[in-house]
Structure 1
Amino acid sequence: MNIIQNAEDFVFNLLKESLPDSYTYHNFNHTQKVVTASKNLIQHENINSMEAEIILIAAWFHDTGYTKGFQSHENESITIAKDFLKNHNKDSEFIDKVSRLIKATEVNHHPQNISEKIIKDADYWHFANEDYLSICQLLREEWRLTQNKIFTDLEWATENRHILVNCHRYFTDYAKENWQLLKDKNIFQLHNEIKKLSGENTGFTKSKLNKKKLEKLERPERGIDTMFRTTLSNHTRLSEIADSKANILLSVNAIIISIALSTLIPKLDSPGNVHLIIPTFTLLMFSVVSIIFAILSTRPKVTSGIFTRKDIEEKKVNLLFFGNFYKMPLAEYEWGMNELMKDRDYLYNSMIKDLYYLGLVLNRKYKLLRITYTIFMVGIICSVITFVWAFKNAGI
């Protein structure tokens, strides 16, 4: 008999003898489902036999700590697993790997490798189960019995939707491709359940008051999308205005320089026009400086255009900005965008970053434009003054 079969028998007997009946969710049935989900992910993620054995042992033991209570049950599970593995003559490296995987099932733990991703996704297999609404009722009853947490139907549905939308995501490629859609269906069911329960609680199912409350449940997403769309449009318009102002200054100063070069400078070698040298070069100097600053305000900043899959997984890159992906192959960009669209928080954070950095670019543009207009204004004034001074001294 291999160690995995021994682990199954050990966990079955342990939970049967020591787990209180109040644990209606975290019991042998849940553990068995997690092991089955782990096997499925191991098969599709091409895990070697040694690593697969470690994952399955961790899956069998990950909730055995509930026999000691719900608090710090992961640490208790690790202790139980260590004792079992030592009795089966497993070395310290094997035991440490199993312990780390059990620890990875903690709610706030971010998986660091493929094994942690597998056990993390397997532990939340029920989020993509067709009977999710029924399964989560077992957890609701367990919390009532073990932690004295009591929820109304509306509170429970709202809490579950919050967890599925804001607190959880799948990490393995297989789960993202095959489980995410089922999870999204469950989110949709929860959303409909919340709307239904909200209507029932008011007692005015067809009243205007009820309609307003139902609208409020749907309004945030549309409101957020409208906010992003409007803000992005405003940023784009402001950028176009800045570029237009810079182009005006470029054109005006280019005309001034052209006239000066073609009309004034050829006449400066005449002794009668010596007094025009200083005013002419003052005008040209300020025009050239204005052109330089106008160019700087519209000059684009070039970035590397490369990202890695690790950057996507750690949410370090914003794929909504072309400068972060223009050197990448199409396949990698498609993969990255699909990952972005699967993670609501990552998507919205990318949009927020996009608006933020657009704002920084606008700030730089308008600062340089202000300097450019100031230089142009001062240059015109100084040029007029020097021309007046030159003509006066020349006795004209």
Structure 2
Amino acid sequence: MENIVKKAEDFVSHLFETKLSTINFYHNIEHTKRVVERITQLAEWEGCSYGEQTTLKIVAWFHDTGFVEKDEGHEEVSARIAADFLKSNQIFNDEIELVKSLILVSRKNSIPNTKLEKITKDADCSHVASDYYFEVSNLLRQEFALKRHTTFTDLEWLEENKIFFEMQQFYTNAARLKWQPLKKLNEREIETKINKIKAKEEAKSNSKKIGRGVETMFRVTLKNHIELSAIADTKANILLSVNAIIISVALSNLVPKLDSVSNSFLVWPTLILMLFSVTSVVLSVLSTRPNISNVTVTKDMIKNKQTNILFFGNFHKMGLKDFEWGIDYLMENQDVLYNSLTKDLYYLGLVLERKYRLLRITYTVFMFGIVISALAFGISYYITMNP
């Protein structure tokens, strides 16, 4: 049986590729490969001989091949396909019967007795102790939905998973030792998800319905604040651009001429113009410069309505899990949610006030700067021309 495992792999891969339904999102070649990997690992832990390991690998490759014909009772079909394959490769009847019996032990309610049966059973259910459990569980959910024409809500599916975990058990010592703790973690995660969904549904059913008027008020007011902020930024950008042009022109055209004695009358007007332009640029930058909080938001601050995590400047120091918890807490506690929206409106208003105050000062400085500079140029020229 030296090359039989490789032949089994090639045979099953080709069989699934050509005959397995495309809606077998879970019972497919990827699941089979995972079981082969787990059964190999478990066989080594249990001290199986080379021959036993070879037998178990063949069982793992063929245990779900029956899905190419039917779902219910696929184990019997899998055993037949495996037997036909082994016969065609001149494998002894005793070995063929052993492979068939091991495949049949993967049936849902079967109880394993021998060491190889226990290894087979544990490997087939090893996904319950994996970090990809919820990913493959979702694939099984999709497969059931299409094949059985049955849809599950998130809560219904999680409760089905919980029942499966309660019924499933590991039979080998190695699986109990190495996989049981990981299974417990996934089981606890299922319970947490169930409780979270139930809490949300309960909060939703018990919460007061907020009228459209309140939602419209928040939506329109926040929109107005954001639009006003955008207008302020546009005004600041205009001032920045205009003053940048003035400074550029002054540096390229006026400053080089100041070396000449005949142009000495331009010194003070040019300095005045540059001073007011630079001041306008600085004030424009200050009006658009963002202000980010350095306070680290905690769960207690969220619960006590002391912060607003809807604004990125507040939550940027939070970890992802804490932020997800905070958003879930807002969704589950309507009073905290609306308190956060109120804070958002208030602090946006403070930011707008600061922007428009600085813009008003900037426009005033710019206006007086242009006027004073023009007068300075006129007066200097007049004095020079009329000594």
With the shorter chain as reference, the TM-score category is: 0.5 to 0.7
1:82-135 CA deviation, whole Å, 9 max, x = no partner? 110000001110100000000010010100111001110100111001121121
Residue aligning to 1:387: none
- Answer yes or no: is the 8 Å Cα contact 1:4–1:53 preserved in 2: yes
CA distance in 2, matches of 1:86, 1:99: 12
Aligned to 2:169: 169
User: Which amino acid is the alignment partner of residue 103 of structure 1?
Assistant: L
| 2:53 paired with 1:40 | no
Q: In 2, Cα distance between the equivalents of 1:44 and 1:70?
A: 32
Distance 2:203 2:139 in 1: 28
**Counterparts of 1:21 and 1:174, CA distance in 2:** 35
* 1:53-92 aligned within 5 A: 53-92=54-93
Partners of 1:17 and 1:133 lie apart in 2 by 28
Alignment correspondent of 1:285: none
Partner in structure 2 of residue 94 of structure 1: 95
2:133 is aligned with what amino acid? Answer: Y
TM-superposed CA distance for 1:147, in Å, is: 1.4
Please show how residues 3-22 of structure 1 align to structure 2 within 5 Å: 3-22=4-23
Q: Identity percentage over the alignment?
A: 37
Report the Cα distance in structure 1 between the residues aligned to 2:130 and 2:53, rounded to whole angstroms.
23
Question: What's the secondary structure of 1:46's corresponding residue?
Answer: coil
Q: Which residue does the alignment assign to 1:189?
A: 189
Number of residue pairs aligned between Structure 1 and Structure 2: 207
Shift of 1:58: 0.7
Partner-residue secondary structure (3-state), 1:25: coil
Q: Partner letter of residue 4 of structure 1?
A: V
Deviation by residue 1:212-253 (Cα, 9 ceiling, x = unmatched):
xxxxxxxxxxxxxxxxxxxxxxxxxxxxxxxxxxxxxxxxxx
Distance 2:151 2:96 in 1: 38
What SS does the aligned partner of 2:131 have? coil
CA drift of 1:149 comes to 2.2
Supply the distance in 1 between the matched residues of 2:99 and 2:138 (Cα, whole angstroms): 30
Q: Could you tell me which residue of structure 2 aligns to residue 201 of structure 1?
A: 201
2:150 is matched with 149
Matching residue's letter, 1:136: S
The DSSP-based 3-state class of the residue aligned with 1:10 is helix
C-alpha displacement of 1:206: 7.8
**1:59-97 C-alpha deviation (Å, 9 max, x unpaired):** 100000000020110001011101100000011101000
From the CA coordinates, give the structure whose radius of gyration is larger. Answer: 2
User: How far apart, in 2, do the equivalents of 1:110 and 1:16 lie?
Assistant: 32
SS at match of 1:70: coil
2:112 equivalent in structure 1: 111
Between the aligned partners of 1:129 and 1:60, the Cα distance in structure 2 is 20
Deviation at 1:142, TM superposition (A): 0.5
Task: State how far apart, in whole Å, the 2-side matches of 1:171 and 1:52 are.
Answer: 18
For 1:178, the equivalent position in structure 2 comes to 178
Contact 1:15/1:67, CA 8 A, preserved across alignment: yes
RMSD: 1.5
Q: Deviation of residue 49 (structure 1)?
A: 1.4
- The match for 1:136 is 137
Q: Which residue of structure 1 lines up, in the alignment, with residue 288 of structure 2?
A: none
Match of 1:212 in 2: none
TM-score normalized with structure 2 length: 0.52
Report the alpha carbon displacement of residue 207 of structure 1 after superposing the two structures with TM: 6.2
> Which TM-score applies when normalising by structure 1?
0.51
CA deviation after TM superposition for structure 1 residue 175, in Å: 0.6
Aligned to 1:331: none
